[in-house]
Amino acid sequence: MRKPKVVILGAGYGGLMTATKLQKAVGVNEVEILLVNKNDYHYETTWLHEASAGTLHHDRVRYNISEVIDRNKVDFIQGTVSEINTKEKKVILEDGELEYDYLVVALGGESETFGIKGLKEHAFSIVNVDSARQIREHIEYQFATYKAEEEKKEERLTIVVGGAGFTGIEFLGELSNRVPELCREYDVDPNKVKMLCVEAAPTVLPGFDAELVKYAVAQLEKKGVTFMIGTAVKEGTPEGIIVAKGEDELEEIKAGTVVWAAGIRGNSVIEKSGFEAMRGRVKVQPDLRAPGYDDVFIIGDSALIINEEINRPYPPTAQIAMQQGETCAHNLAVLIRGKGEIQSFTPDIKGTVCSLGEDDAIGVAFGKKMVGGKASFMKKVIDNRSLYMIGGPTLVFKKGKFNFL
Ligand code: FAD
Ligand code: NAD
């Protein structure tokens, strides 16, 4: 009898969790599992702000996919997905096609520019290893060029971060630690460097605990960050950005580096493949299948699930993507075997910790608020836990964060 074929697209948190849980749940002869990913490595998206600022080398945030999959049960294909043809049950890759019986779409998210002019062309986003490496190199280039040029362009040393959500704040935490090092490395006067954070909402980290936000703002301001709150980015230009300060007041900010960190949308493959989506995210059924498709699961940043208590979507996080991977693997095993109970997915939110650099953070975990070293310790525990859940103790030993003090 032909074995059913499960194709998992994306080896991020959701995809790898599905693959590693499914490989444990099924026997070699029960199913064919194929994992497809753009690169032959997985990267910890949750550490990319560190690689982008240059406080952690990008090789520390990635590991080979072959290290965590059981090659007897899971085949890996390095390839880029262009589109899904759900009618013919086919995945179109840039250089070929794959057929599936069951499909898991775990392709993550993409930077959301809300159609704001010039951002795609002139701003960077923290989305993968390639973009992180580019941001780090670009900032260093600006410092080196400023030092070497005769007619100094001071704006080279201005770094603007658009959006004071968790990504923007975590990046600024790392950047404000990195800038003094860069100043020493390139013999640049620290007083010349500007780190600006432009946030449209009336507060930093909108919706997060006000006391913790106050702590974060004070800590980052101490390290040289200036916040422009209630200020929306309206345009990206080759010279920097244009912001709106009230109804009609526009201001140009010249900056050598603009990092756009104002939210994400689902992977573009979703809309291209004809799934009904909101900002590229599919509102999935409780069992994580796409509405109208018995054979397609969508998890992670490309899936949308509603928090019924507040009637708003859960924010897309690694925490949820990994939990969805577990449920998805369970449900696939039930479908493959034709026995057992399909599970509904319910997120189990253990907390949120936002790093403010190497040794500082804010967070709420297991209902308790924390700041400083304690919160930073918790963040590293969370980082190590995600490695453990996918690759066990070997991966934690190899890639884990042990700089607790
Ligand atoms: P990802 O983990 O992004 O994986 C997607 C995979 O698909 C990648 O391997 C990618 O290469 C691959 N892929 C994409 N497109 C294609 C294609 N066309 N073809 C083939 N392969 C493709 N969440 C938390 O819970 N805690 C945190 O502390 C936290 N910190 C964060 C810090 C930063 C700087 C950022 C940017 C995000 C952070 N998040 C955090 C959010 C979290 O990283 C995401 O929610 C999570 O990565 C989503 O997991 P995923 O499996 O959907 O996608
Ligand atoms: P976000 O949506 O959480 O925050 C984006 C911010 O950009 C918001 O504060 C928004 O008001 C602002 N913004 C939007 N348009 C703007 C404009 N035109 N001008 C200025 N500001 C504008 O997005 P994010 O920070 O990229 O996070 C993405 C997801 O990843 C979220 O779900 C987040 O929870 C998760 N994440 C979690 C962590 C963590 O748990 N430590 C860290 C990073 C990201």
Q: Tell me if residue 121 is catalytic.
A: no
| Pocket of ligand 2 contains residue 102 by CB under 6 Å | no
Can you list the alpha helix ranges (DSSP code H) found in 160-209? 166-185
Q: Is 216 in the pocket of ligand 2 (CB under 6 A)?
A: no
For domain 119-261, give the fold: FAD/NAD(P)-binding domain (3.50.50)
Q: Would you say 19 and 8 are in contact if contact means Cβ atoms under 8 Å apart?
A: yes
Give one DSSP letter per residue of 44-62, joined into a string: -GGGHHHHHHTSS-GGGGE
For residue 173, what are the CA distances in angstroms to 161, 301, 336?
Answer: 12, 24, 46
Per-residue pLDDT at 405: 55
User: Domain limits of the chain?
Assistant: 5-109+266-349, 119-261, 350-405
Q: According to the model, what pLDDT value does residue 195 have? A: 98
Cα–Cα distance, 263 to 154 (Å, whole number): 29
Q: Return the ligand number nearest the Cα of 52.
A: 1
Q: Over the stretch 221-249, which tens digit does the pLDDT of each residue have?
A: 999 999 999 999 999 999 999 999 877 78
CATH of 5-109+266-349, one of 3.50.50.60, 3.50.50.100, 3.40.50.620, 3.30.360.10: 3.50.50.100
pLDDT digits (tens, 9 = 90+) for 62-91: 999 999 999 999 999 999 999 999 999 999
CA separation for the pair 392, 395 (Å, rounded): 6
* Cα 125 to Cα 55: distance, rounded to the nearest angstrom: 17
Ligand showing the shortest atom-to-Cα distance for residue 314: 2
- Average pLDDT score over residue span 337-353: 95
Q: Which SS3 state, helix, strand or coil, does residue 286 take?
A: coil
In percent, the amount of the chain with pLDDT more than 70 equals 100
Edge-to-edge, what's the strand order for the sheet holding 240-244? Answer: 232-237, 240-244, 250-254
The 10s digit of each residue's pLDDT in 200-215 is 999 999 999 999 999 9
Q: How many CB atoms lie within 10 A of CB 379?
A: 23
Report pLDDT digits (tens) over 102-156.
999 999 999 999 999 999 999 999 999 999 999 999 999 999 999 999 999 999 9
Residue 100 — very low, low, confident or very high, per pLDDT cuts 50/70/90? very high
Q: Do domains 5-109+266-349 and 119-261 have the same CATH topology?
A: yes
- Ligand 1 atom at shortest distance from the alpha carbon of 12: 4
Fill in the DSSP letter of residue 289: B
Cα–ligand 1 centroid distance for 357 (angstroms): 20
Ligand 2 atom closest to Cα of residue 319: 40
Please determine, for residue 18, whether its predicted confidence score (pLDDT) is greater than 80.
yes
DSSP class of residue 4? P
Q: What's the gap between Cα 233 and its chain centre? A: 21
2 has pLDDT over 90:
no
Q: Is the pLDDT of residue 1 over 80?
A: no
d(CA 390, CA 42): 11
What DSSP line would sit under 113-137, residue for residue? -TT-TTHHHH-B---SHHHHHHHHH
Catalytic residue among 170, 174, 199, 326: 170
Residue 322 pLDDT > 60: yes
| Statement: residue 255 has pLDDT above 90 | yes
Task: Read off the amino acid at residue 76.
Answer: F
What angle is formed at CA 378 by the lines to CA 376 and CA 384, rounded to 5 degrees?
105
pLDDT confidence bin for 47, thresholds 50/70/90:
very high
Counting Cβ atoms within 10 Å, is residue 171 exposed (0-12), middle (13-18) or buried (19+)?
buried
CA 76 to chain centroid, in Å, comes to 22
Question: 3-class SS at 251?
Answer: strand
